[in-house]
Copies of this chain bind each other. A is one copy, B any other.
Amino acid sequence: MVRVAVDFPAWLTDRARHIETVLDHFLPEASTQPQRLHEAMRYAVLGGGKRVRAALVYAAGQASLQANTPASAQLMALDHAAAAVELIHAYSLVHDDLPCMDDDALRRGRPTVHVQYDEATAMLAADALQPLAFELLGRMPVAPALVVQAVQQLARAAGSLGMVGGQAIDCDSVNRVLAPDDLQTMHKMKTGAMLEASVVLGGIVAGASSTVRQGLDRYAAAMGLAFQVVDDILDVTADTATLGKTAGKDAAGNKPTYVSVLGLQPSRQFLQQLHHQAREALLPLGPSAELLGCLADFIVNRDH
């Protein structure tokens, strides 16, 4: 087992900077034809965000590497996997912001991609981010059998029974009352699937044992939901400047949220339960899972 000296804030900052460099490297240059498309792809992906998904890949990788010194190939593969989940996340935000979906003009404090470019370019740029994610997995320098597992995981998480399915339910739920169970199903798919995939991919790439994989799965399931509960709470408690996106948007759009279905205080209690579940799932993994534990604390306590 690897002992981790945890200076978590420094680690998180380092990982966010690192994935930015990795993504910059993997994205086609803006000077490559078609230039406008590649500019839009880079605009959509680069320039920040919390990079929680990449951090989950790296932290799960750290928890899964065995006693021997991690090979550079494994660390490179973690870069590919972390970039892949960030690319899928970025594409989904671009499509989500389009006029036919949420029609949002602001994202991370900047104009959304279709406002900065145009709708067709935004749609196509996002369309091209998706295969780039799978190409990066295809180029991971690990055993082909692990690559195949990773492709399957990402494909399922990004598909109609995962992220896109959750977005579709979300769209259909505007102005409708959702039962708490249905709300949970929607969020498990919409946000949870890709957060879970991030943890699982980190484990696959780093060669996690089946015991570690089980712990990661339980941690991932709890955190996938927790992330969305926090989002829903922040939608009603934070302001636009802090969020970097339009606050109160979901409430104004009559979208069901944890807060609208359960109420604010019960949502906060549910969040604490999920936090506890995630922390408990890590116990069998020992100190090498401390980064995942810190990430759980960070996600639950974030203010934007």
Contacts and interface: CB of A to CB of B under 8 A. Distances in A.
B41 A160 contact: yes
A38 interface: yes
Interface string A22-33: 000000100011
Interface string A92-124: 100100101100000000000000001111011
A4 interface: no
Interface stretch (A61-69, A75-83, A135-143, A290-298): A135-143
Integer count of this chain's copies in the complex: 2
Contact of A172 (B28, B34, B41, B134): B34
B121 A137 contact: no
Interface in A144-178: 144-145, 147-148, 151-152, 154-156, 158-161, 164-165, 167-169, 171-172
28 contacts: A33-B165, A34-B165, A34-B169, A34-B172, A36-B168, A37-B160, A37-B165, A37-B168, A98-B100, A100-B118, A100-B120, A120-B171, A123-B123, A124-B164, A124-B167, A124-B168, A127-B127, A128-B164, A132-B159, A134-B155, A135-B151, A135-B155, A138-B148, A138-B151, A144-B145, A144-B147, A147-B147, A148-B148
Interface of A: 28, 32-34, 36-38, 41, 92, 95, 98, 100-101, 118-121, 123-125, 127-128, 130-132, 134-135, 137-139, 143-145, 147-148, 151-152, 154-156, 158-161, 164-165, 167-169, 171-172, 185
Contact of A160 (B34, B152, B155): B34
A288 B37 CA distance: 41
Given A155-B135, A172-B36, A164 B127 contact: yes
A23 to B, nearest CB: 14
A135 to B, nearest CB: 4
A201 to B, nearest CB: 13
A154 B145 CA distance: 18
